[in-house]
């Protein structure tokens, strides 16, 4: 009988969870499809490409909304079993509020780890494909920045031609082993610049230990100088912002290739923020289920359903703003960034601990 009851709780909870995900997925498809159609309206593509890109983008959005999805699912499930008297039946068979709560909360906790190790690597690959596909149709395609195993590559469209910049390594705002090719409008090489370092903190790049090869009548003339300056539309902050899409980085990549990512030029602060934001997910799901249990298990009257729904929406908004406020404080160095990510979890833990003690007495 014990196994049957646990199976019933888990089956119905997971069924409710997947129903909510399906509803959110459908809404996401509808809303994002309009955005994709607007993006491709001047491109020679059919309706199939926007539909495909929308379908592979929405799953990453669902993962970002997972704490609130699990909250809605938990409330829906517990209101349902309370209204159809299943909650009373479970209590008759020895299942207290606290026992039901722990079954649901640890299920949510387990879902969080499954998402990190299984779903997140898949969605991150989908986001990479989504971004690379849209980049092919971007209006500013003349200006490109890409990062691969060979280092950083930048293409700029200039007034009198094009420029291609390659750097084997990046260390914060300094590029190492830089090669710059400048072409005229006929794509003939004008000059080639080699530099050991390039300081790119602002748009006026300062090159160190520079060798300049200038083409004249098919002959390359070499000039060596200690410093040289070029103007670029890119600077350190702009380049970093192009790669600051956390959805394209998977949890497994961050854990196994953290050192490689930093060596390739990813900002350590950004990587730490994303890694800890992912690590808090299972705990966040546990606590959001706890909040739903505290709200719905405090009474058995059907007439209070509307009140619980309103309170649930208020709590979701409060948690959302608490999370954003805490991270904003971390990014502005008011508090340590890692602490700012875990602060909402700590605050919710204290609140839910008191609430769980109260529902255990019901």
Structure tokens, 146: 């890409």
In three-state secondary structure terms, 113 is helix
**Domain presence at residue 297:** yes
| Residues 24 and 48 reside in one and the same domain | yes
The per-residue pLDDT for 140 is 46
Q: Is 233 exposed, middle or buried (0-12, 13-18, 19+ CB in 10 A)?
A: exposed
Residues 6+ apart with CB under 8 A from 295: 75, 308, 311, 312, 315
The per-residue pLDDT for 360 is 59
Residues 6+ apart with CB under 8 A from 95: 5
**Domain presence at residue 116:** yes
The per-residue pLDDT for 302 is 57
Is the pLDDT assigned to residue 181 strictly greater than 50?
Answer: yes
Task: Give me the DSSP letters along 240-285.
Answer: HHHT--GGGS-HHHHHHSHHHHHHTT--HHHHHHHHHHHHTHHHHH
In three-state secondary structure terms, 127 is helix
| Residues 152 and 260 reside in one and the same domain | no
| Residues 27 and 81 reside in one and the same domain | yes
Q: Residue range 144-160: average pLDDT?
A: 73
| Residues 284 and 175 reside in one and the same domain | no
Q: What is the pTM of this model?
A: 0.74
pLDDT digits (tens, 9 = 90+) for 4-32: 888 888 999 999 999 999 999 999 999 88
Q: How confident is the model at residue 195 (pLDDT cuts 50, 70, 90)?
A: very high
**Domain presence at residue 270:** yes
The per-residue pLDDT for 88 is 75
Is the pLDDT assigned to residue 141 strictly greater than 50?
Answer: no
Structure tokens, 76: 């829906």
The per-residue pLDDT for 300 is 55
**Domain presence at residue 331:** yes
The per-residue pLDDT for 116 is 93
Final residue of a domain: which of 173, 208, 232?
A: 232
The per-residue pLDDT for 147 is 65
The per-residue pLDDT for 241 is 62
C-alpha distances in Å from residue 221, one per residue of 177, 202, 207, 215, 217: 21, 29, 19, 6, 10
Q: Residue range 314-321: average pLDDT?
A: 80
pLDDT digits (tens, 9 = 90+) for 103-135: 999 999 999 999 999 999 999 888 888 877 776
Task: Give me the DSSP letters along 30-43.
Answer: HHHHHHHHHHTTTS
Q: Which of 215, 113, 81, 201 is nearest to 161 (CA)?
A: 215
Strand partners, 164: 155, 181
pLDDT digits (tens, 9 = 90+) for 319-350: 888 888 888 888 777 888 888 889 888 888 88
Structure tokens, 133: 């596909």
| Residues 134 and 154 reside in one and the same domain | no
| Residues 257 and 336 reside in one and the same domain | yes
| Residues 172 and 312 reside in one and the same domain | no
Q: Residue range 56-60: average pLDDT?
A: 91
Backbone angles phi, psi at 282, to 5 degrees: -60, -40
The per-residue pLDDT for 62 is 93
pLDDT digits (tens, 9 = 90+) for 210-248: 998 887 666 668 888 889 998 888 887 777 666 556 677
The domain tally of the chain equals: 2
Compute the mean pLDDT over every residue in the chain, rounded to the nearest whole number.
82
Most trustworthy range by pLDDT among 44-53, 79-88, 296-305: 44-53
Question: Comparing 125 with 265, which gets the higher pLDDT?
Answer: 125
| Residues 6 and 70 reside in one and the same domain | yes
Task: Give me the DSSP letters along 333-359.
Answer: TSS-HHHHHHHHHHHHHHHHHHHHHHH
| Residues 154 and 121 reside in one and the same domain | no
In three-state secondary structure terms, 215 is strand
Q: Residue range 270-278: average pLDDT?
A: 85
* Range with lowest mean pLDDT among 144-158, 248-262, 336-350: 144-158
């Amino acid at each position: 009988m014990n196994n049957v009851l646990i199976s019933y709780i888990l089956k119905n909870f997971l069924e409710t969870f997947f129903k909510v995900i399906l509803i959110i997925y459908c809404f996401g498809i509808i809303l994002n499809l309009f955005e994709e159609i607007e993006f491709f309206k001047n491109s020679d593509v059919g309706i199939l490409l926007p539909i495909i890109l929308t379908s592979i983008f929405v799953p990453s959005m669902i993962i970002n909304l997972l704490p609130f999805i699990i909250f809605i699912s938990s409330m829906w499930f517990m209101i349902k079993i309370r209204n159809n008297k299943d909650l009373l039946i479970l209590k008759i068979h020895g299942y207290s509020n606290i026992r039901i709560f722990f079954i649901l909360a640890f299920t949510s906790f387990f879902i969080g780890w499954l998402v990190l190790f299984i779903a997140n690597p898949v969605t991150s690959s989908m986001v990479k494909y989504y971004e690379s596909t849209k980049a092919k149709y971007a209006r500013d395609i003349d200006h490109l920045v890409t990062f691969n195993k060979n280092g950083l590559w930048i293409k700029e469209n200039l007034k009198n031609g094009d420029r291609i910049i390659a750097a084997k390594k990046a260390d914060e705002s300094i590029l190492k082993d830089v090669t710059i090719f400048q072409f005229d409008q006929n794509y003939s090489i004008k000059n080639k610049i080699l530099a050991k370092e390039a300081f790119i903190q602002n748009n006026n790049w300062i090159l160190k230990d520079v060798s300049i090869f200038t083409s004249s009548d098919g002959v390359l003339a070499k000039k060596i100088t200690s410093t040289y300056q070029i103007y670029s539309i890119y600077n350190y902050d702009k380049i970093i912002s192009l790669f600051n899409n956390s959805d394209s980085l998977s949890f497994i990549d961050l854990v196994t290739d953290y050192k490689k990512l930093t060596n390739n030029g990813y900002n350590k602060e950004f990587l730490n923020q994303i890694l800890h934001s992912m690590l808090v997910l299972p705990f966040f799901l546990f606590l959001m289920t706890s909040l739903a249990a505290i709200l719905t298990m405090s009474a058995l009257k059907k007439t209070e359903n509307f009140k619980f729904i309103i309170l649930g929406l208020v709590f979701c908004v409060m948690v959302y703003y608490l999370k954003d406020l805490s991270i904003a404080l971390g990014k502005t160095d008011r508090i340590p960034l890692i602490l700012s990510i875990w602060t909402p979890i700590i605050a919710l833990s204290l609140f839910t601990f008191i609430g769980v003690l109260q529902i255990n007495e019901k």
